[in-house]
A and B are shown apart, each in its own frame.
Chain A
Amino acid sequence: MMEIGRVVQEARGIKSFFFKNYINCKPGQFVMVWLPGVDEKPMAVSYWKKNEFAFTSSAIGNFTKALNMLKKGDKVGIRGPYGNSFSLKQNACVVGGGVGMASVSALIDALKNPVVINGARSKEHLIYRKRYKNKNMIVTTDDGSYGRKGFTTAALDEVLLKNKTIRIVYVCGPEIMIKNVLEICNKHRIECEASLERYMSCGFGICGKCMINDRILCIDGPIFNSRQISKLSEFGKFARLKSGKKVTIKEYHSVNA
């Protein structure tokens, strides 16, 4: 188990937990976080330095609510990192929706001057505003309470129209947003890599709970490129519940929330 070094409040209900430990990690990978007696869940590594890393958690379900009560000095179980990683190509535009930003933030830190599009429902849900104040960042909020009013996708379309040097788009966020981002990338004929999410249990490719078509999300992903995603008929449509039952994405989110 690892001791929490510090906790940073990122937005309403969203906290980052820092650990003074070294993990051998690449941008896009995740760790399995264990709270004894509660649950174990995957969390993207959102900050990664030589001797410190963090993940960022939004209090939504039982597990994340219990997690976000923890303080400096508390211990949690950490195993991993697991999963594949982003390709780290330069001249990139990185799009994050909501707490999906946490899955692309280690990538943003690893790239040279990427264009960042950071979207949230409203100002109070926006994360990493100060962290990336020196970056080329466009902020969008659904309600216009901060930055541009509207979705990340509109901002991306505009960026790709204006900035012809961009060679790749990296994205994480709600699946519907990823789907729309992929369509925009296809329209502009620009490569895209997305970090996807499915219910996960083991994290190392054994239990089969996170299958999306024939892909095992925890080891074949969570990062997939446009070509790979185009072969996934379940993407944007279906996901599997904890029992393995295949349901619509809408039902999946209503059960998991």
Chain B
Amino acid sequence: MLQTKLCNIKLKNPTILASGILGVTKESIGRIGKSGAGAVTLKSLCHEERLGNANPAMFSDDGAFLNAVGLPGQGIDSAVKEFQRLDNLSVPVIGSIYGYRIKQFGIVAKKMASLKPSMIEVDISCPHLDYGKPYYADTQLTAEVTKVVKKNAGRIPVSIKLSPNVYDIKEIAHAAEKAGADAITAINTATAMAIDVDARKPVLANKIGGLSGPALKPIALRCVYEIYETVKIPIIGTGGVTYGKDALEMIMAGSTCVGIGSGIYYRGIGIFKKVCDEMEAWMRKNKVKSLKEIRGCAHD
């Protein structure tokens, strides 16, 4: 009922662990796979080891979840040693990568490709990392990154992860598609802040962070809806998906798959199975046999 094809990857269901949540170790991938996710995205890796930002790096307040972890990671070389390969795990794995310079995106992509992930996702949109250049906000830069990653990824499909912190997300998505992207992941977090009234200071050590959780969903839906009208490549709709209803909304807006990240904070690792069960229950009740029937149905 929920089987989904994303590029050439067959998924048992459309839920995908979003990058940045848990996916740090090989064993956590296995565990999240077992818990019901259709695919798992690794935490983003770059050409070097990074400690990330100081704590507090995460904050939650009802429907708003903020983080400024600052892309900590062991670096691609160390990860290649640890993971060895990603094509023999119980669940399809998406390798998330980034760099500071265009050339580094290419180097990291090539090393990631050697692990044979099902897909490579390119994080050009972390809101609390200074990449040096605004890859997420400039059509030319987005296209350049896409091209260099495509060139180094071989046959592995490439998805570009976009930011909502732009004037027009449609033109960025269009630039990525034109440059050869096989998919779009939309969206990364929205820049945000939390202040503690007793401390009279921002809560996050980095001051500014990225908003996720239920508060992000309406923004993500709008972005997916706009991108669907602009490009033909599949979209991984990510942002605030917590319940089956949210996932259905994403698919109606036009996404092929749905990313789930901070949802784990609200519903635990079992969230993937819960969301799938809730989607199926709605589909049975409304006599919908496959997600194809409703994909993009919110459009005129």
Closest to A233 in B: B27
Given contacts A77-B199, A205-B265, A214-B30, contact A245 B43 (CB under 8 A): no
- A208→B24 contact, CB < 8 A: yes
**What mask results when residues 223 to 247 of chain A are scored 1 for a CB within 8 Å of chain B, else 0?**
0000000000000000011111110
**Residue numbers in B under 8 Å from A211 (CB-CB):** 22, 24-25, 27-28
Looking at B7-15, B50-58, B129-137, the stretch in contact with chain A turns out to be B50-58
Binds A, one of B66-74, B237-245, B250-258, B290-298: B66-74
Question: Which residues of A lie under 8 Å from residue B262 when comparing CB positions?
Answer: 206
Partner of A214, one of B28, B56, B264: B28
For residue B300, CB closer than 8 A to chain A, the reply is no
B57 engages A39 (CB within 8 Å): no
Chain B positions within 8 Å of A208 at CB level: 21-25, 28, 43
| Inter-subunit contact B55/A40 (CB<8 Å) | yes
* CB neighbours of B102 from chain A (8 A): none
In the complex, 30 of the A-B residue pairs with CB atoms within 8 angstroms, ordered by the A residue number, are A1-B196, A34-B56, A34-B203, A36-B196, A36-B199, A40-B55, A41-B55, A77-B196, A77-B198, A201-B69, A204-B58, A204-B265, A205-B22, A205-B265, A206-B262, A207-B21, A207-B58, A207-B69, A208-B25, A209-B72, A211-B22, A211-B25, A216-B22, A216-B28, A242-B52, A243-B49, A243-B50, A244-B73, A244-B74, A246-B74
Is B72's CB under 8 angstroms from A213's CB? no
List the 10 shortest-distance A-B pairs measured between CB atoms, nearest first. Answer: A1-B198, A214-B27, A245-B74, A40-B55, A208-B22, A208-B24, A202-B58, A214-B31, A36-B199, A40-B56
Question: Does A75 sit within 8 A of B, measured CB to CB?
Answer: yes
B222 on the A face (CB < 8 A): no
0/1 interface trace, chain B 67-86, chain A, CB 8 Å (1 if under):
10100111100100010000
Are B51 and A36 in touch, CB under 8 angstroms?
no
B201 interfacial by beta-carbon distance below 8 Å: yes
5 more CB-based (< 8 A) A-B contacts, given A39-B54, A201-B55, A246-B82: A1-B198, A1-B199, A41-B55, A201-B69, A245-B75
Contact B55 A243 (CB under 8 A): no
Interface assignment of A37: CB less than 8 Å from any CB of chain B = yes
Name A206's contact: one of B50, B54, B196, B265 (CB within 8 Å). Answer: B265
Bound-state CA distance A242–B205 (Å) is 15
Taking CB as reference atom, which chain A residue is nearest B78?
Answer: A245
- CA of A86 to CA of B226 in the docked complex: distance in angstroms? 51
Q: In the complex, what distance in Å separates the CA atom of A240 from the CA atom of B52?
A: 14
- Contact residues, B1-48 vs A (CB, 8 A): 21-25, 27-28, 30-31, 43
* B294: min CB distance to chain A, Å: 30
Contact string, A181-221, partner B, CB cutoff 8 A, digits 1/0? 00000000000000000000110111111010110100000
Residue numbers in A under 8 Å from B199 (CB-CB): 1, 34, 36, 75, 77
Point out the residues of chain A lying under 8 angstroms from B58, CB to CB.
Answer: 201-202, 204, 206-207
- Whose C-beta in chain B lies nearest to the C-beta of A246? B82
Q: List, in ascending order, chain A residues with CB within 8 A of B74's CB.
A: 241, 243-246
Cα A213 to Cα B51 with chains together (Å): 20
Hey, what's the 0/1 contact readout for B175-194 against A, CB within 8 Å counting as 1?
Answer: 00000000000000000000
Q: Given A201-B57, A205-B264, A211-B24, verify A243-B72 contact (CB < 8 Å).
A: yes
Q: Within the complex, what minimum Cβ distance (angstroms) separates B82 from chain A?
A: 6
Q: Which residues of chain B have C-beta atoms less than 8 A from A204's C-beta?
A: 58, 60, 265
Alpha-carbon gap, A1 to B201, bound state (A): 12
How long is the Cα–Cα vector from A241 to B196 in the complex, in angstroms? 29
Q: Closest chain A residue to B32 by CB distance?
A: A214
Closest Cβ of chain B to A251, distance in Å, is: 13
User: In angstroms, how far is the closest chain B Cβ from the Cβ of A50?
Assistant: 24
Are B72 and A39 neighbours in the complex by a CB distance under 8 Å?
no
CB nearest neighbor in A for B51: A242
| Chain A residues with CB below 8 A from B265, complex form | 204-206
Smallest CB gap from A2: residue in B: B198
Given contacts A208-B28, A213-B27, A244 and B43 within 8 Å (CB-CB): yes
Complex interface bits, B199-230 against A, C-beta within 8 A gives 1, otherwise 0: 10101010000000000000000000000000
- The docked-state distance in angstroms from the alpha carbon of A240 to that of B266 is 25
Would you call A209 and B196 a contact (CB within 8 A)?
no
Q: Contact between B27 and A209 (Cβ–Cβ < 8 Å)?
A: no
Collect the chain B residues with CB atoms within 8 Å of residue A40's CB: 55-56, 205
Contacts of B52 in A (CB 8 A): 242-243
Name which residue of chain A comes closest to B81, CB basis: A246
| Residues of chain A with a CB closer than 8 A to B75's CB | 243, 245
Asked whether, in the complex, the Cβ of B23 is within 8 Å of the Cβ of A206, the reply is no
Q: How far is the CA of A202 from the CA of B65 in the complex (A)?
A: 12
Contacts of A39 in B (CB 8 A): 54-55, 205
Partner of A37, one of B25, B201, B264: B201
Q: Which residues in chain B, 109-137, are within 8 Å of chain A measured between CB atoms?
A: none
- Of chain A, the residue at the smallest CB distance from B201 is A36
Query: B50 — which chain A residues lie within 8 A by C-beta?
Result: 243
B146 to chain A, nearest CB (A): 27
**Min distance, Cβ B86 to any Cβ of chain A, angstroms:** 16
Residues in chain A near residue B21, CB distance under 8 A: 206-208
